[in-house]
Amino acid sequence: MDILELRTYCLSFPESEETTPFDETTLVYKVAGKMFAMTDMIHADHVALKCDPSLALDLREKYPDIDAAYHMNKRHWNSVRLDGDLPAAFIRKMVRDSYLLVIGGMPRQPRERLTKQFIEAENELNR
């Protein structure tokens, strides 16, 4: 998966946005102001993704292309190599899971609204 595929996929989620809050080369993907993915435009070989803490360590142990995310809470964030041996479908699932994890932690109203939009978008894709 390359950075353009990653960008397109991240922006396909309901109410997702691309921002550069840290510097002009660090791309941060957010939903309702909460980050679910981060990568660098210049060195786009990794993406930092939020991960369920109970799964994060298992993924790091099982896959050499997954490590603790640099400068992030190591319990909640993994760094996933985009140009390694992980299939693009697996990376997309991790991005999707990161997005869902973030909206799952939101207050009831935005969580329900975004979940509904997400399900509708997925149903539309599967038709």
Question: Is 54 part of a structural domain of the chain?
Answer: yes
pLDDT along the chain (127 residues), means of 10: 94 96 96 96 93 94 94 90 95 97 96 94 81
Q: pTM of the full predicted structure?
A: 0.93
Question: Is 42 part of a structural domain of the chain?
Answer: yes
Structure confidence at residue 37 (pLDDT): 97
Residue length, the chain? 127
Structure confidence at residue 112 (pLDDT): 96
Structure confidence at residue 40 (pLDDT): 94
The structural domain count of the chain equals 1
How far is 53 from 25, CA to CA, in rounded Å?
28
Question: Is 125 part of a structural domain of the chain?
Answer: no
Question: Is 127 part of a structural domain of the chain?
Answer: no
What's the CA angle centered on 22, arms 104 and 54, to 5 degrees? 35
Structure confidence at residue 71 (pLDDT): 83
Structure confidence at residue 4 (pLDDT): 93
Domain that holds residue 90: 3-120
Q: What CATH number does residue 77 fall under?
A: 3.90.1150.30
How far is 7 from 15, CA to CA, in rounded Å?
14
Question: Is 103 part of a structural domain of the chain?
Answer: yes
* CB 49, CB 80: distance < 8 Å: yes
Question: Is 126 part of a structural domain of the chain?
Answer: no
